[in-house]
Amino acid sequence: MSDGSAWGTSSQEDTSYLAQKDTNQVKEFDWMEPFDVDGGIVPLDSMVDTAINAIVPVLRPVFQVIAQPITWFLNAIESLLLVIPAPLIIIALAALAWKLSNRRIGIATLFGLLAIGLIGAWDQAMTTLSLVITSLFFCILIGLPMGIWLSRSDKAVSIVRPILDAMQTTPAFVYLIPIVMLFSPGKVAGVIVTIIFAVPPMIRLTNLGIRQVPEDLIEAARAFGTSPKQLLFKVQLPLALPTIMAGVNQTLMLGLSMVVIASMIAVPGLGLMVLQGIGRNDIGIATVGGLGIVILAIILDRITQHIGGSRQS
């Protein structure tokens, strides 16, 4: 019995040793499959983790201060939309849509907002609208001056264009984690993510619109002695406004498309309804949230498109 026990122990030790030996064995490099290496030849994942862990404790207090204006603006808009009675908001937004576009869009806005209220998504829609308005405001605040700067410098375009390409093509899920680490989960982090995702069209189309202003009009304005400031604000920007409004339209649509993704970092609103519906396998609540997003998108799209079209005509 003792021999068997000793033999069994010896077998287990031998097996353990062999397993450890196999684990520690270095895999020979295969020229036919040069990239079949555990962890990659360049350990980018560990390098990024190390960099983030070193940067976040240092930069997080700075980014918390930067986030304060966004927090104030967002809270002001959301409080305004939630405190005012729904019928007054519906009438005011429908009248604004009528004023900025036409009667047909104003009536469509009225019925669209009524539909959102009737399906029980009013508060969530107002939260989402406040997030989109805040994101749009800061996208314009960042994108318009940068687009003007790019229109004056080809060298700046060559530097900034790859950054804009990366911002537009990088999946939003990739920068959700560092944004959450810097700003904490919540509405402000959702606004930051939306700004990163939605600001490139604003920059690109502002640059494009100013560059498309006819050169003869610019020369005529200079011949009349206009200063560079007058040339920008009285000639270039008014003539570029249709293209700039197209950038505003695209920024709005991209912002709304981020609603569901941003809900994954605890951003409330219609996107959270969709996410909860997916998590609970409840198609009803997901449909309510999705329909609310669609209605808001159609209303905002039609208004901004009409503003750009009327300016162009």
pLDDT tens string 142-184: 999 999 999 999 999 999 999 999 988 888 788 788 888 888 8
Residue 80: closest CA among 134, 30, 32: 134
Tokens for 45?
């994942």
The C-alpha atoms of residue 249 and residue 91 are separated, in whole angstroms, by 23
The C-alpha atoms of residue 119 and residue 115 are separated, in whole angstroms, by 6
Confidence (pLDDT) at 26: 54
Q: What are phi and psi of 296, to 5 degrees?
A: -60, -40
| CB 231, CB 221: distance < 8 Å | yes
Q: CATH classification of 54-308, choosing from 3.50.50.60, 2.60.40.1220, 1.10.530.10, 1.10.3720.10? A: 1.10.3720.10
The C-alpha atoms of residue 215 and residue 111 are separated, in whole angstroms, by 45
CA 239 to chain centroid: 28
Q: Which amino acid is at 232?
A: L
Confidence (pLDDT) at 2: 46
- How does residue 7 score in pLDDT terms, banded at 50, 70 and 90? very low
pTM of the model: 0.82
Confidence (pLDDT) at 80: 94
Domain ranges of the chain: 54-308
Residue 195's CB is within 10 A of a number of other CB atoms, namely 24
The C-alpha atoms of residue 179 and residue 60 are separated, in whole angstroms, by 10
Q: For 270, what's the count of Cα atoms within 13 Å in the CB-facing half-sphere?
A: 29
Q: Is the pLDDT of residue 66 over 70?
A: yes
Residue 272's CB is within 10 A of a number of other CB atoms, namely 21
Tokens for 167?
């911002």
Average model confidence (pLDDT) for the chain? 86
- Average pLDDT for residues 121-142, to the nearest whole number? 95
- Average pLDDT for residues 97-122, to the nearest whole number? 93
Confidence (pLDDT) at 261: 87
The C-alpha atoms of residue 231 and residue 256 are separated, in whole angstroms, by 35
